[in-house]
Structures are given as structure tokens and as C-alpha cells.
Amino acid sequence: MASLELRNVSKAYGDTPVLDDVSLTMEACEFVAFLGPSGSGKSTLLRIVAGLETPDRGEVWLDGSRIDLLPPGARGVAMVFQHYALYPHMSVRENMAFGLRNAGVARDEIAVRVAQAAGVLEIEALLDRKPGQLSGGQRQRVAIGRAIVKQPRLFLLDEPLSNLDAALRTRTRVELAQLRQRVEAAVIMVTHDQAEAMTLADRIVVMSDRRIQQIGAPMQVYSRPANSFVARFVGSPAMTLAPASLLPGEGGFARVRLGDGAELDTRVARASLSGDGAVQLGLRPEGVTVTGPGAGTTNARVELVERLGDRTLVYARLADGAAVTAQDEGNSRVRLGDEIGLAIDGAAAHLFTADGSGRHAEPGA
């Protein structure tokens, strides 16, 4: 049974559209990440589900009941905000119990729920401390605990890790992954951090320009981006998009010519592309290998070398000015300004048409 359904949701602030006809179905206990740049509409969509914003058009359904007409407290959802929103004069225990007291839950029941949530989050030793005595990661766990005690059908997490430093963000990400195994509820997380989305989510909803651009499992979105926006946005570093021309041919796979004259056989079905016009060749770094000059598909001039220990990323430029990111071994000897060869794996190449739509290698090709 579907847990959450968004049906043709639209929202504008005055003359400024924010969401345009967004629809989504989410399964019970599924973890979905809304991923996109600032201004893409992802936080507004979360706030509409929570009841903090009202859609201009469309409906929100949860477990078969329409909830967009209900007040926030009656929806069966709990939201964890980016800035924790803890009461500084209250203890952790009091912060977690506050919403339940306002809802008229019995004192004994409140005590049981707070103890259970503290056990799940492993913060029993912090219950009598004030927020000012806690680290950022501990405060975030208290904020999550305050949501857990409500026993919601749906958790809404709005950029939950953005206020943490890099090391703490990684550790808290692990804790969130473990937490979802202990709590039986669906989860929506808004984030602009693709590492969070790729690590935690069952499915990613990539948003841009007020609309959903693609919905899919993390590796599906990474390996078969629906369009050039998703290709550039998902992946670090971003996918190379180089101008290319589709060469004539019938049947089989597409062959393209790069701007510097080099030609490449892809594993993209020729029949999926019409005409012989311009396309963009999409390449992940792992699909481009550094070789000696003249030994690969084409040559390039090195502009930056990024050493990551186990591998080296080489940012280079082709003769026509197109930028390409390639991968080399960890102890690469490539230096800034070198002329290198690039061996491009045609089976790993993607093609994007004039409207930005993605075409990918045929399965098993």
C-alpha cells in the first residue's frame, strides 16, 4: 500500500511559481530523498506535506486518507528542522515530552515514549541536560527523538545534517542509516548533499525548476540520468558533457565525432536517436582513462590534477576547448600542463539530445 501520494501539487508565491504539477507515490516505510539545488522547490514540497504551507492546487494523501485539508497536528507526520528548534531552558527530557504534553497524552505514556526514543537514539545519559550542554550531533538526535515520540506515520527531515561539520555529518549519516532500521515509518529527507541522498535513500527525487526531473534508486539516477541536468547535478565530480556530432548510420549503435575530430563508438542504440544532428556526449570520470599522448581516443591538455590517494582525477581540455574529467591511478605522474591521451570507454558513454533527454547504453551491450 502506498504511504504517501502527492497528486498534481502546484504552489506559487504571488507571481513566482515554486512548484508545478508535482506528483509522487511513496511506499510504506520507504526512505525518499528530495535532492536539488536551492530554489528547486524541495523544501516547499516538504512543508506542504507537513501542513506548514497550503498548495494552490493538488492533493496530499497519507495511508489512503487525504491530509492536505487537515491541520498539521492531525496529519500523523513529524518534522525535524534544519535548526533543531530546541527550547534552551528545558532539559532534553522536557524537550522531547513537550509536544506530547500539549497534545494531552497521559504522563505515564509520555515517560514510556521518551524512554523508548532515548533508547533508540542512545541518548539516555543526556535526558537531564540542557541543549547548551550538548554537541551539534547530540542536539540533532534530540530533535529526531522529539519526532519519534509522536509515533508518526511519516518523518520529514529538512536538511538534518547541514549544520554539522564534515566529520560529524558523516558519523550522523551512519546513525540515521541505523535509525531507519529501528523505526517503522516512511521518511522524506530534503537535502542538497548528494552523498546523503545516495547513502540513505531507497529512491531519490531529483528536483529542479519547480518540477521533478527524475525518480529512481540512487545508482539508477547516477548511471542512467534522465536528462543533462541530472547528469551534471548527480555525481562528484559532475559528468562531462562535451559537444559531439551524431554520424550517419542505420541500426546498431551510435557513432559520434567529438569537437576535436576524434570519433567514438558508443553502445547507445542508433534507433533511439533521430537525424544526424548535434548531441552532447556524457562521460563519467571512471569511463575516461589517462594514457600516453596519441595512445587513446583523443588528446587533451591537463588543467588540474586532484590527488585523492586511491585514485587521481585529471581535469583536462580537448583541442576544441571542451572540458573532460578523467581518472588515473593513485600514484599518477601527470602534471599541470602535460599533454595526455584519453582512452574513452564507449560502453560507458551517454548521449543527450538537443532537448537534454538522456540516451544510455543498451542493457547487456
CATH number of the domain that residue 285 is part of: 2.40.50.140
Taking CA atoms, 200 is separated from 26, 33, 37, 185, 249, in Å, by 15, 8, 18, 14, 43
- Asked if residue 197 and residue 114 are part of one domain, the reply reads yes
Instruction: Determine, yes or no, domain membership for 233.
Output: no
- Asked if residue 248 and residue 221 are part of one domain, the reply reads no
Per-residue pLDDT, averaged over 41-61, amounts to 94
Instruction: List Cβ neighbours of 200 (8 Å cut-off, separation of 6 or more).
Output: 31, 33, 173, 176, 177, 180, 189
Instruction: Determine, yes or no, domain membership for 193.
Output: yes
Question: Considering 164, 197, 228, which residue would you say is the last residue of a domain?
Answer: 228
CATH number of the domain that residue 103 is part of: 3.40.50.300
Sign of CA dihedral 15, 81, 72, 184: positive
Instruction: Determine, yes or no, domain membership for 150.
Output: yes
**Helix spans in 180-258 (H):** 194-200, 218-223, 228-233
Angle at 96 between CA 93 and CA 100, to 5 degrees: 120
- Asked if residue 263 and residue 223 are part of one domain, the reply reads no
Instruction: Determine, yes or no, domain membership for 103.
Output: yes
Q: Could you tell me which residues are beta bridge partners of residue 157?
A: 80, 189
DSSP state of 290: E
Q: Give the tens place of pLDDT for each residue, 148-177.
A: 888 888 889 888 776 666 666 777 777 777
Specify the range with the lowest mean pLDDT, choosing from 138-147, 149-158, 179-188: 179-188
Question: Considering 179, 200, 228, which residue would you say is the last residue of a domain?
Answer: 228
As a whole number of angstroms, the distance between CA 46 and CA 204 comes to 14
Task: Read off φ and ψ for residue 281, nearest 5 degrees.
Answer: -90, 120
Pairing outcome for strands 350-352 and 278-283: antiparallel
Grid-cell match 538534518, residue found: 160
Sheet holding 211-216, edge to edge: 77-80, 154-158, 186-191, 31-35, 203-208, 211-216
Q: Is 334 left (phi over 0), alpha (psi -120 to 50) or beta?
A: beta
- Asked if residue 113 and residue 255 are part of one domain, the reply reads no
Q: Give the tens place of pLDDT for each residue, 1-26.
A: 458 999 999 999 999 999 999 999 99
- Dig out the grid coordinates for 286 from the structure: 571512471
As a whole number of angstroms, the distance between CA 288 and CA 291 comes to 10
Instruction: Determine, yes or no, domain membership for 245.
Output: yes
Number of domains in the chain: 2
- Asked if residue 309 and residue 192 are part of one domain, the reply reads no
As a whole number of angstroms, the distance between CA 142 and CA 86 comes to 8
Higher local confidence (pLDDT), 103 or 58: 58
- Asked if residue 245 and residue 195 are part of one domain, the reply reads no
Above 60 in pLDDT, residue 215?
Answer: yes
Q: Which of 43-57, 72-86, 269-283 has the highest mean pLDDT?
A: 43-57
Instruction: Determine, yes or no, domain membership for 234.
Output: no
Q: What average pLDDT does the structure give for the chain? A: 89
**Cβ 161 vs Cβ 169: under 8 Å:** yes
Could you tell me the pLDDT band of residue 46, with boundaries at 50, 70 and 90? very high
Grid-cell match 570520470, residue found: 285
pTM of the model: 0.87
How many C-alpha atoms does 82 have within 13 Å on its Cβ side? 10
Helix (H, G, I), strand (E, B) or coil at 256: strand
Instruction: List Cβ neighbours of 279 (8 Å cut-off, separation of 6 or more).
Output: 244, 245, 246, 256, 273, 351, 352, 353, 354
Question: Considering 203, 228, 253, which residue would you say is the last residue of a domain?
Answer: 228
Reported as type and span, the H/E element at residue 113 is helix 107-121
> Which residues span the domain enclosing 291?
240-359
Q: What is the pLDDT of residue 168?
A: 65
Angle at 3 between CA 37 and CA 73, to 5 degrees: 80
Q: Give the tens place of pLDDT for each residue, 243-293.
A: 999 988 766 899 999 999 999 999 999 888 876 688 999 999 999 999 999
**Cβ 268 vs Cβ 254: under 8 Å:** yes
Going by C-alpha positions, the residue among 125, 122, 6, 123 that lies closest to residue 58 is: 6
